[in-house]
């Protein structure tokens, strides 16, 4: 099954729903969003995070999911690129307790929904 076809949008919807958006890593692989010079490509960081009682590895996985979702949105031309690609946005949202966390969650949901809409519209076929 060719997952990058427009007809298979429902597969991405189910994968996103059942994996908690871990499917963004697979979608990032299809869209060539991985950079060999980034931190997530080095196995030593993942090994060290797993050795240190798996909690750092879970945090790294969450950060990777956020980063891949933002890169996919950038590739699929989701509006607001200046906001969701800036690391300062996420740092500010993490520092401010309640309002910042709710904004962070809303940015994440916005990116997930619009990534799925762009997959439904077939923009994934043009970029893969």
Q: What is the pLDDT of residue 127?
A: 81
Domain that holds residue 18: 6-121
Average pLDDT per 10 consecutive residues for the chain, totaling 128 residues: 86 95 94 93 93 92 96 95 94 94 96 95 85
Rounded Cα gap, residues 78 and 34, in angstroms:
18
CA dihedral 9, 33, 85, 115 (to 10 degrees): 0
- Tell me if 1 is assigned to some domain: no
Q: What is the pLDDT of residue 76?
A: 94
Element (H, E) at 61: helix 55-75
- Tell me if 128 is assigned to some domain: no
Do the Cβ atoms of 4 and 124 come closer than 8 Å? Answer: yes
- Tell me if 47 is assigned to some domain: yes
Beta strands in 2-102 (DSSP E): none
Number of domains observed in the structure of the chain: 1
- Tell me if 81 is assigned to some domain: yes
- Tell me if 108 is assigned to some domain: yes
- Tell me if 127 is assigned to some domain: no
- Tell me if 37 is assigned to some domain: yes
Rounded Cα gap, residues 114 and 79, in angstroms:
9
Q: What is the pLDDT of residue 1?
A: 58
């Amino acid at each position: 099954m060719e997952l990058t076809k427009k007809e298979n949008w429902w597969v991405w919807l189910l994968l996103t729903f059942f994996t908690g958006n871990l499917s963004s890593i697979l979608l990032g692989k299809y869209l060539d969003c991985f950079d060999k010079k980034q931190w997530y490509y080095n196995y030593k960081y993942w090994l060290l995070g797993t050795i240190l009682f798996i909690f750092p590895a879970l945090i790294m996985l969450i950060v990777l999911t956020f980063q891949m979702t933002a890169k996919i949105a950038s590739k699929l031309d989701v509006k607001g690129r200046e906001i969701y690609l800036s690391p300062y946005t996420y740092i500010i949202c993490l520092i401010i307790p309640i309002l910042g966390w709710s904004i962070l969650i809303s940015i994440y949901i916005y990116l997930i929904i619009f990534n799925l809409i762009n997959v439904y519209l077939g923009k994934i076929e043009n970029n893969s």
